[in-house]
């Protein structure tokens, strides 16, 4: 598509993990007036924060660093529910035998570097210095005990067997937490939303359509988007089936990641998740809330009011991926993010809210 000042500028990561989504967008799913801008994750993060992009699949840590500048597309992410297969720590020795020496890390990722630092600290009690490098994996491993690689470079390293030991960071996170990990979010600039609400809404809706189409193809083991010829078919099949493009239970892992990133000082605090209202209506928590102790959450209260009165409920709402700024409580049985409806376990939501209200400070 040719560029034009009035076009929406959308980041595009040239990795295999997002081929299914962009296949749907570029095959006629995207609305008119979209210009795609290629770049690695860290490059697209910079363009987004500098106002050079309106929307991008960007590092999940980028949203947490500047939450006041961004909004999220609801219902879509780039996540793993166990292994991810393209975010790997290559090492010369087993993971638990790593020396305290500096570890080389890719210059193309921000989220994965933060994740590695969290896992080293929380799982191994290590504080290795992480040094960004442009060295290819083999050269990096001659100089450092380990090297963090992502994307197609990580897949190639795994296929070629360049390291004697390989640790999948998605699987490592899952072993430690039992939760999915969100590597990237579809992040919109708030300024773009203020100025271009209608076209951004159409594009966000197109993303959800592309996601559903990709998921259906993956379930059928059909991959019309192809992929690099150098990736063996068996690996390719396992890879796409290891990825999640949802943002439902994944939001729970995201909230934990943000809390741990704040704990080690990478972000000031874990931010609430704030979404585009792509259906024109407020996100609504449609359920009755019973009181906990002397506290009472009334039907029709905005969640922002609930949070102001009862801040102890924040983790409960975040666990369900609820937009804590634009929601209301009422008597029905869904959570609705505009046109996107998330089914939830109402009993679990009610139980969590009531338990949080019953805890005395």
What is the arrangement of strands in the sheet containing 55-59, beginning at the earlier edge strand?
Answer: 34-38, 8-12, 55-59, 181-189, 70-80, 243-244
Helices 250-263 and 169-177 cross at an angle (nearest 10°) of 90
Question: How much is the pLDDT for 343?
Answer: 44
Alpha carbon 34 to chain centroid, angstroms = 23
φ, ψ at 32 (rounded to 5°)? -65, 155
CA distance 45 to 65: 11
Question: How much is the pLDDT for 286?
Answer: 29
- Helices then strands, each counted (H, E), the chain: 14, 15
- 115-146 burial: b if 16+ Cβ within 10 Å, else e: bbbbbbeeeeebebebeebeeebeebbeebbb
Q: What homologous superfamily is domain 8-80+182-263 in, according to CATH?
A: Periplasmic binding protein-like II (3.40.190.10)
Distances (CA, A) of 108 to 76, 158, 244, 300: 22, 18, 21, 45
Fold match between 8-80+182-263 and 87-177?
A: yes
Question: Token match 């189409």: residue?
Answer: 213
The first and second tokens of residue 245, run together, are 């493009």
What long-range pairs does 115-121 form, CB within 8 A, spacing at least 24? 115/87, 115/169, 115/173, 115/181, 115/257, 116/89, 116/148, 116/169, 117/264, 117/266, 118/257, 118/260, 118/261, 118/264, 119/169, 119/172, 119/173, 119/176, 121/264
CA distance 49 to 333: 37
Burial class of residue 67, CB neighbours in 10 A (0-12, 13-18, 19+): buried
Domain boundaries, the chain: 8-80+182-263, 87-177, 283-358
CA distance 1 to 149: 31
End-to-end Cα distance, the chain: 56
Q: 3.40.50.1700, 3.40.190.10, 3.40.50.2000, 3.40.640.10: which CATH number matches 87-177?
A: 3.40.190.10
Can you name the residues that pair with 286 across neighbouring β-strands? 330
Question: How much is the pLDDT for 283?
Answer: 32
Cβ(329)–Cβ(298) below 8 Å: yes
CA distance 323 to 207: 19
From first to last of its 361 residues, the chain has per-residue pLDDT tens of 444 457 899 999 888 889 999 998 887 667 778 899 999 888 999 999 999 999 999 999 999 999 999 999 988 999 998 999 999 999 999 999 999 999 999 988 889 999 999 999 999 999 999 999 999 999 999 999 999 999 889 999 999 999 999 999 999 999 999 999 999 999 999 999 999 888 898 898 889 889 999 999 999 998 898 888 888 888 888 998 999 999 988 998 999 999 999 999 999 999 988 888 765 333 323 233 333 333 444 444 555 555 555 555 666 766 666 655 444 443 223 333 332 334 445 556 666 666 666 543 3
CA distance 155 to 103: 19
Q: What angle do CA 68, 70, 72 make, to 5 degrees?
A: 130
């Amino acid at each position: 598509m040719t560029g034009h000042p009035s076009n929406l500028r959308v980041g595009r990561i040239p990795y295999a993990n997002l081929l299914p989504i962009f296949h749907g967008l570029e095959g006629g799913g995207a609305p008119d007036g979209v210009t795609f801008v290629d770049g690695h994750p860290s490059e697209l993060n910079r363009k987004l924060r500098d106002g050079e992009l309106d929307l991008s699949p960007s590092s999940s840590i980028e949203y947490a660093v500047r939450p006041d500048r961004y909004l999220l597309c609801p219902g879509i992410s780039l996540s793993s529910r166990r292994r991810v297969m393209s975010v790997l720590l290559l090492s010369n020795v087993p993971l638990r035998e790593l020396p305290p020496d500096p570890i080389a890390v890719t210059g193309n990722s921000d989220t994965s570097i933060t994740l590695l630092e969290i896992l080293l600290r929380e799982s191994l009690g290590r504080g290795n210095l992480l040094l960004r490098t442009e060295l290819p994996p083999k050269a990096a491993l001659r100089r450092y005990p380990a090297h963090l690689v992502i994307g197609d470079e990580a897949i190639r390293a795994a296929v070629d067997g360049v390291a004697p030991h390989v640790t999948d960071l998605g699987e490592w996170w899952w072993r430690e937490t039992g939760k999915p990990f969100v590597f990237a979010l579809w992040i919109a600039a708030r300024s773009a939303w203020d100025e271009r609400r209608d076209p951004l809404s159409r594009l966000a809706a197109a993303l959800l359509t592309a996601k559903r189409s990709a998921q259906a193809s993956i379930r059928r083991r059909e991959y019309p988007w192809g992929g690099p010829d150098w990736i063996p078919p068996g690996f390719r099949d396992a890879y796409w089936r290891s990825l999640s493009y949802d943002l439902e239970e994944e939001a729970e892992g995201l909230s934990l990641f943000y809390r741990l990133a704040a704990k080690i000082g990478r972000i000031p605090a874990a931010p609430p998740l704030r979404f585009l209202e792509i259906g024109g209506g407020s996100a609504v928590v449609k359920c009755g809330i019973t009181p906990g102790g002397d506290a009472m959450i009334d039907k029709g209260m905005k969640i922002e009011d609930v949070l102001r009165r009862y801040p102890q409920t924040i983790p409960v709402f975040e666990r369900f991926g609820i937009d804590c700024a634009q929601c209301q409580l009422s008597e029905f049985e869904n959570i609705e993010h505009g046109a996107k409806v998330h089914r939830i376990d109402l009993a679990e939501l009610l139980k969590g809210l009531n338990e949080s209200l019953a805890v005395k400070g």
